[in-house]
Amino acid sequence: MYEDFAIKRGSPELLAAWSAVEIASWDILGKRAGLPVYNLIGGASRERVRVYANGWSRGATIEERVERGLQVKAMGFTAAKFDPFPGPWRSFVDRRDEDFAISYVRAMREALGPDFELLIEAHRRFSPAHAIRIGHRLAEFGIDWYEEPCLSENIELVAEVRRAVPIPIVTGEAIYTREAFFECLARRAADILNPDICVIGGITAMLDIAAMAQPQAVVMAPHNYNSTLIGLAATVHVSAVIPNFRIAEYFVNFADLCRDIATASLAMQDGWIELPTSPGLGVDLDVEKLRAHPHQEATHRGFRQYWEEYPRKGYTPSLR
């Protein structure tokens, strides 16, 4: 696919297809061998995999979002990720938008307590100057990471922030090749990498990236904006094996639908996933139920609705 069809030209679409074939191949091999995939790729180094909650932070006000955060904590999670920054994604941030984000994080810390891990997402939107200023303001709340403050295609921007901010920096969800991860590590741009197994080339690529990161004391926190089924299962198998694993992403808003279309799925309890013991990935789908939920093309309206839900009462983000 890569060498002959694409002539070594990468793209997210090609790599996603590559990942699908690669992950499916491991599942088939595991089922033929009668072994879970983690026993085919080195053997588990832990009995369960820790996950953090994402996909929960909806609401028109800070108060509504804090209430959702409390619900996540009540589900047993001890870490959650959210993007507190309002307004369209611009490199230069209005101070009112910045103040809103700081108020949101402060409210989350006060409500969830000092031991709950707050993982702050920035979606690659800032210039280094803004990212650094915001990072120093966030530091007082004891947040556990600051994810993708700058555009990862220009990895030196992320490295500049890492050198200036006293918070662990995460990048990787928008990096798709081993070569690009090598460059990220060479520039010392991140403390934590969050590659997505469904777009980097699958299980083998994730193992390679983890192996490159380990000698540089960089840990892995895999991204998983896919499902709580196949993508998460592949992530869990790799996370069980690699020694530099920290935590993986779990989208709580996907869980009900995925549970409905699954004939076998992973068990998540109190922010942990027990390793499956059945052959292959340990998950299976009811294909007919899956077909009842066909793909729907995303539209600009979806992004507009997201931002319209964001402001708190009496406040309109700038650059609307």
> pLDDT tens digit string along 217-235?
999 999 999 889 999 999 9
Residue 293, pLDDT above cutoff 90:
no
What pLDDT shows up at residue 297? 73
Neighbours of 315 (CB within 10 A): 15
What is the average pLDDT across 173-198? 97
Catalytic residue among 123, 136, 237, 293: 123
Q: What pLDDT sits at residue 93?
A: 86
Point out the least confidently predicted range of 57-61, 105-109, 194-198: 57-61
Q: Residue 251 and residue 215: Cα distance in Å, rounded? A: 30
**Positive or negative CA dihedral for 242, 243, 246, 252?**
positive
**pLDDT for 65-92, tens place per residue?**
999 999 999 999 999 999 999 877 788 8
Instruction: List pLDDT tens digits, range 135-182.
Output: 999 999 999 999 999 999 999 999 999 999 999 999 999 999 999 999
Q: What is the pLDDT of residues 227-256, one digit of tens each?
A: 899 999 999 999 999 999 999 999 999 999
Q: Is the pLDDT of residue 25 over 70?
A: yes
Distance (Å, rounded) from C-alpha 23 to C-alpha 203? Answer: 6
Contact by Cβ (8 Å): 85, 121:
no
- Residue 130 bears catalytic tag: no
- 310 has pLDDT over 70: no
Catalytic choice (223, 237, 293, 300): 223
For residue 112, what are the contacts with CB-CB under 8 A and spacing of at least 6? Answer: 69, 70, 73, 80, 118
Element (H, E) at 24: helix 12-33
Structure tokens at 78: 């001890």
Strands (E) located in 141-296:
145-147, 169-171, 192-193, 219-220, 248-251, 262-264, 268-269, 272-274, 284-285
Residue 305, Cα to own-chain centre: how many angstroms? 22
pLDDT digits (tens, 9 = 90+) for 104-131: 999 999 999 999 999 999 999 999 999 9
pLDDT score, position 299: 55
CB contact set of 210 (below 8 Å; sequence gap of 6+): 220, 238, 242, 244, 245
- In this prediction the pTM is 0.91
Q: Any idea of the CA torsion for 38, 44, 48, 54, to the nearest 10 degrees?
A: -50
Beta-bridge mates of residue 256: none
Nearest Cα neighbor of 150 from 109, 189, 199 is 189
- What average pLDDT does range 85-102 have in this prediction? 88
Give residue 4's pLDDT band: very low, low, confident or very high (50, 70, 90): confident
Per the model's pLDDT, the better-predicted residue between 295 and 23 turns out to be 23
How high is the pLDDT of residue 307?
46
Tally the residues of the chain. Answer: 320
Q: Which amino acid is at 8?
A: K
273 in Cβ contact with 236 (< 8 Å): yes
- pLDDT at 260 > cutoff 80: yes
Q: How many CB atoms lie within 10 A of CB 215?
A: 9
Task: For residue 123, indicate whether it is catalytic.
Answer: yes
Kindly tell me if the per-residue pLDDT of 301 is higher than 80.
no
**Distance separating alpha carbons of residues 104 and 65, to the nearest angstrom:** 9
User: What average pLDDT does the chain have?
Assistant: 92
Long-range contacts of residues 56-65, Cβ cutoff 8 Å, at least 24 apart:
56/80, 56/82, 56/252, 56/253, 57/82, 57/83, 58/309, 59/309, 60/309, 60/310, 60/311, 60/312, 60/313, 61/312, 61/313, 62/100, 62/103, 62/104, 62/107, 62/312, 63/107, 63/312, 65/104, 65/108
Q: What percent of the chain has pLDDT over 70?
A: 93
**Sole residue written with tokens 């089922």:** 31
Residue 71: C-alpha distances to residues 20, 95, 107, 128, 297 (Å): 33, 30, 15, 34, 31
